[in-house]
Structure 1
Amino acid sequence: MILDDFVSINANGIYCKYGDFYLDPQQPVKTAVISHAHADHAISGNKEVYCTRPTQEFMHLRYHRSAAQVFNIVGYNQPFFIKDIKLAFIPAGHMLGSAMILMEYQGASYLYTGDYKIQPDATCEPIEWVNADVLITESTFADPGIIHPDPVEEIKKLNGIKSNILLGAYGLGKSQRLLRMVNDYAPQKKVLIHHKIMPINQIYERNGYPLGKYQLYGRKLMKAQDEFVYIVPPFTFNSYIKATGVKRLFASGWKNLQVNKEDTLFISDHVDWNDILQAIKQINPKQVWTLHGNGAHLKAHLETDILVKLLN
């Protein structure tokens, strides 16, 4: 039987009272199950954390000793228990180490997606599908008007730019995906990496995900027009607002960060409307609960066939 109160939202985040744990808590808690290492899902200071190995490595890199008191590292598709809840991490395709969280209790199953992606990505584990009675999905782009373009065609835009490029992107996940794609689809480009991104790259490569050719940025290098692509995190990108001799591009899937087709690479690490509908078809839930966005469109689209509940 599906329990309507299996998870709820409180000041600390998404809480499962039946197991007394939080999913991606927003404040430090006693027990946290963390889907992936982006800072809006993986905070420091939790007492006990369950996550994948790469997620632990990224959290240690960012938070050092305050990452958590205790880490429980669990591989994909390996069942574990918190009290009477049976859990498993399922590859989410969002970034290296990202996981959907499958929870089973009293004969019902609940799949919390965290952030997930269906588009191919050579820098992380591809998404895997499992069946669940309840799909608890992020709905960041759950809007029929939002359909992501082909990321390969987006990255190929770089081939038509002969000047050096300053490419802004989030340091964890997005930068590594872009680096791999530039090597694959614009191989004549010479990729330079900001020093803050280098240790993240090293974690990817230690975990068996080669990123291609790149080197650490040097100021003298960019003085020559040699089709350099300098990948930088947002704070550096914004500080170079008056940079000359470069084409400034920002890579994002967020509408409020889109400038125009000439200054933006629309490459998202989230599901769009069609992807969410595909996920629902693959997972075949009896109910869909939405998080992190506006689930109203899904509710209107699915209500006659599937019960949709908006958790936030």
Structure 2
Amino acid sequence: MSSSSRLAPEMIIEDFLILTDNGLYCRIGNFYLDPKHAVEHAVISHAHGDHAVRGNVNVYCTAASAAIIQHRYHKQAGKNFLIYSWSDIFDLNGVKISFIPAGHILGSAQILLEYLGIRYLYTGDYKLQEDPTCERIEFVKADVLITETTFADPSVKHPDAVDEIIKLNAFNHNVLLGAYSLGKAQRLSRLISDHCPQRSTLVHHSIFSLNKLYESFGFSPGKYELYNRKQMKQPDQNLVYIIPPLTFNSYIRAKNVVRAFASGWMKLQMNNDLQLLISDHVDWDDIITMLKEVEPRQVWTLHGNGTYLKEHFKGKLLVKLLNNAD
């Protein structure tokens, strides 16, 4: 879509999306994007628990997101799942909706909303780094970009994930590796399989079942085995045991292992033996790249601090902080 064919910025409905106690609400379409509490109509970007709560009546999402939500919540997952592929467009009270790959985790989607010729693109969580365990992000043009700003700080630069994971090649001690069970664990397992061939990956039972789900959608987490306590007790075997955060914290006294937690947050690197800065979110440079690709007339920010973006584009581009009173 060329700039000349875009509608004027004054046509943008400034309260098309509003932040409520239940989350981000589209009053015209009468639905929520990634609601914080169960609602009647929930359009879900991806299956992480802070974006996909249990108990919604009607859940609109991708097939992979539906499978993960149902796997995690069982009978409380939601009453009705309405599943759409990447090429589908559906309508809620006059608002046209479609899902665009977000590159965050398996099935993660940007949500494109079209109303009266204006395109509003909600990113959900997204990343630009390569990740063979999920769909690669796709770029589309939009008049309004509603972006997460988890790491929207010019001082934040995520290192290359391969450069981080090959740190495990410098020694043969067993590694106790903390990671979120969904998305991060599968990415780590694949990174280790591809770039640390001498190492064997063991996974926690909660991660094992998600790995199998990933495989059912054609995305391989690489080579891995279910955790074996006897194996892990043998020192210097080039083993990596990937475990969820609660288990990682409970193993604070584990002996004969190198402790590491894979995250973009520096605070989660504290008191560990090895720093692994691997993030599944965009950093500052990635957000700037996203803006160049989307070419929005306005930017609305969520999930973090949009102050740096607002200052950076002052006088050039309207940046509105939805999670603050502007």
Using the size of structure 1 for normalisation, the TM-score is: 0.98
Matched residue SS, 1:159: helix
**Corresponding residue for 1:149?**
159
**Corresponding residue for 1:232?**
243
Residues of 1 paired with 2:37 and 2:266: CA distance? Answer: 28
**Corresponding residue for 1:96?**
106
The aligned amino acid for 1:279 is M
Kindly state the Cα deviation for residue 264 of structure 1 after the two structures are TM-superposed: 2.0
Residues of 2 paired with 1:258 and 1:168: CA distance? Answer: 10
Matched residue SS, 2:206: coil
Superposed CA RMSD in Å reads 1.0
Change (3 A) 1:256 1:230: same
Q: Map of 1:1-312 to 2, 5 A cutoff?
A: 1-224=11-234, 225-259=236-270, 262-312=273-323
Residues of 1 paired with 2:127 and 2:280: CA distance? Answer: 6
Kindly state the Cα deviation for residue 288 of structure 1 after the two structures are TM-superposed: 0.3
The aligned amino acid for 2:198 is Q
Kindly state the Cα deviation for residue 223 of structure 1 after the two structures are TM-superposed: 2.1
Query: Structure 1 residues 251-260 or 297-306, which shifts more?
Result: 251-260
List 4+ stretches of structure 1 deviating above 3 A.
Answer: none
Kindly state the Cα deviation for residue 261 of structure 1 after the two structures are TM-superposed: 8.5
Residues of 2 paired with 1:212 and 1:172: CA distance? Answer: 15
Residue by residue over 1:96-136, the C-alpha shift from the partner in whole angstroms, topping out at 9 and shown as x without a partner, is 00000000001111000000000000100000000000000
Identity %: 56
Residues of 1 paired with 2:21 and 2:267: CA distance? Answer: 27
Matched residue SS, 1:19: coil
Matched residue SS, 2:13: coil
Question: Would you say the 8 A contact 2:261–2:272 is kept in 1?
Answer: no
Change (3 A) 1:91 1:41: same
Matched residue SS, 1:292: strand
Residues of 1 paired with 2:42 and 2:238: CA distance? Answer: 45
Matched residue SS, 2:167: helix
* Unpaired stretches in structure 1, ≥5 consecutive residues: none
Residue by residue over 1:194-234, the C-alpha shift from the partner in whole angstroms, topping out at 9 and shown as x without a partner, is 11111100110000011221111111111223111011111
Residues of 1 paired with 2:87 and 2:143: CA distance? Answer: 18
Matched residue SS, 2:299: strand
Kindly state the Cα deviation for residue 257 of structure 1 after the two structures are TM-superposed: 1.1
The aligned amino acid for 1:310 is L
Query: Structure 1 residues 254-263 or 238-247, which shifts more?
Result: 254-263
The aligned amino acid for 1:148 is H
Kindly state the Cα deviation for residue 256 of structure 1 after the two structures are TM-superposed: 2.2
Residues of 1 paired with 2:21 and 2:251: CA distance? Answer: 37
* Unpaired stretches in structure 2, ≥5 consecutive residues: 1-10
The aligned amino acid for 1:88 is S
Residues of 2 paired with 1:173 and 1:209: CA distance? Answer: 11
Kindly state the Cα deviation for residue 303 of structure 1 after the two structures are TM-superposed: 2.2
Residues of 2 paired with 1:26 and 1:115: CA distance? Answer: 15
Residues of 1 paired with 2:106 and 2:277: CA distance? Answer: 20
